[in-house]
Amino acid sequence: GENVEQHPSTLSVQEGDSAVIKCTYSDSASNYFPWYKQELGKRPQLIIDIRSNVGEKKDQRIAVTLNKTAKHFSLHITETQPEDSAVYFCAASIFWGGAGNTPLVFGKGTRLSVIA
């Protein structure tokens, strides 16, 4: 089955700097890669996702890149702010369109601390 590795497990950055979190996946059939943010004591919430038909997707200060050949994808946060401090999870699954998809397999998470 699918296996998702996520690095680093912890990351500290100065406010205003960029943060990058990387994930690798094992199943070349996986084609859907979401990122979730979990603030302290809260539920995970989707912040951005990417499908394998594109190599990059941006949403304001957040971007995700995908390298299908190498089977890795990354989350990039620019101009970090204290409210970006949270645990971030990457995940992978196979999406069959109208027929549904396999369950998400999550990485172990990255605890990001933005130091003011």
Partner 1 sequence: DADVTQTPRNRITKTGKRIMLECSQTKGHDRMYWYRQDPGLGLRLIYYSFDVKDINKGEISDGYSVSRQAQAKFSLSLESAIPNQTALYFCATKGRQGGQETQYFGPGTRLLVL
Binding region for partner 1 (CB under 8 A): 6, 9, 32, 34, 42-46, 89, 95, 100-101, 103-109
Give bridge partners of residue 22 from the DSSP assignment: 7, 74
Give least dist CB 14 to partner 1, A: 25
Complex with partner 1: residue 62 or 78, whichever CB lies closer: 62
Do residues 66 and 56 lie in contact, with contact meaning Cβ atoms separated by under 8 Å?
yes
Q: Which is nearer to partner 1, 11 or 104 (CB)?
A: 104
Residue carrying the six token digits 């996702």: 49
- CA neighbours closer than 13 Å in the CB half-sphere of residue 41: 0
Q: Could you tell me the smallest distance in angstroms from the CB atom of residue 44 to partner 1?
A: 5
Q: What 3-state DSSP class applies to 97? A: helix
What is the C-alpha separation between 97 and 13, in angstroms, rounded?
Answer: 38
Nearer to partner 1, 43 or 83 (CB): 43
As measured in angstroms, the least distance from the Cβ of 12 to partner 1 is: 17
Q: Name which of 20 and 104 has its Cβ closer to partner 1.
A: 104
